[in-house]
Structure 1
Amino acid sequence: MLIINNFEEYKSHLGKELGVSKWHRINQEQINQFADATLDHQWIHVDREKAETEGPFKATIAHGYLTISLIPYLWKQIAEVRNIKMEINYGIERFKFGQPVLVDSEVQLKAKLVSIVNLRGVTKVVIEATLVIKDHPKPAYNGDVVFLYHFIA
């Protein structure tokens, strides 16, 4: 795991891959819980029987936003940013879904530092996030996530 203690340490990683998370299996229970939380019960996600017989993937698939919502959890496995008062998920930019994540697939986050700037004491970083699906050549998605860090002076 990468340990980052301050702005200068963070900046030293500019343009570099920061690391990869552990593999995470997305099972039907997690998909169903996400459907309940977001009120998105489209059959392609929650109806295993219909998905297997009528669906284009012959299995249920994870919601795209479910896979995006895993970023904070998977990011914490890649880097620990210390000496901060606050960390804010500030935004997502230019995200594209490459392929669906079938139920019981394992996914892994790869992170690269694209930019970092000090905005009068607030550090804004842009991380290129790629969600890899185990045993698949094409990622589930690729895009940029933006974090704001308030380092302790």
Structure 2
Amino acid sequence: MMRIAIVGPESCGKSTLGKALADYFQCGYVAEYAREYFAIHPHQHYDIHDVISIAQTQYQQENAMATEYAHLICDTSPLVCRIWAQVKFGHCPIEIAQLESSVSYHGILLCAPDLPWQPDPLRENPENRAALFDIYLQHLSAGSTPFRIVTGHGKQRLACARQQLSTMGIVL
């Protein structure tokens, strides 16, 4: 079982890249559960318990997909929920930290915020994407999972991601 996570600030092309990689490699794709969650629950009044619930369900969906596919592209990870909780609420709940330590990825792709901001009712941080990117970079640099930064637009971004997976020795 090989898992690749795609992380980064809002509006940096994670979902588009994840779907494109899954199509290219003909492997499983785990969509970002937060979108589904907020389609059911009102976004404007969420709290830390919502972020925990999102992280837990995302983790469950990943594990369920892992029984069906040998390779997974995951559009988010517990790290995304950790940073979201820290930025929005000032701390990371133990439940998210535990999820983060219980899942392992063979590699992580960190999407640079070099794409134009796309407004979306679920997005909250158009002005601080560079600062959020730096937070991701710090967390990933301190960890042991190999990661690479993905840049570029359109097909260039997909090609960059494929090249970066190759530099980590990941062959899907």
Q: Same fold (TM over 0.5)?
A: no
Q: Which has the higher strand share?
A: 1
| Alignment TM-score, normalising by the size of structure 1 | 0.26
Q: Which has the higher helix share?
A: 2
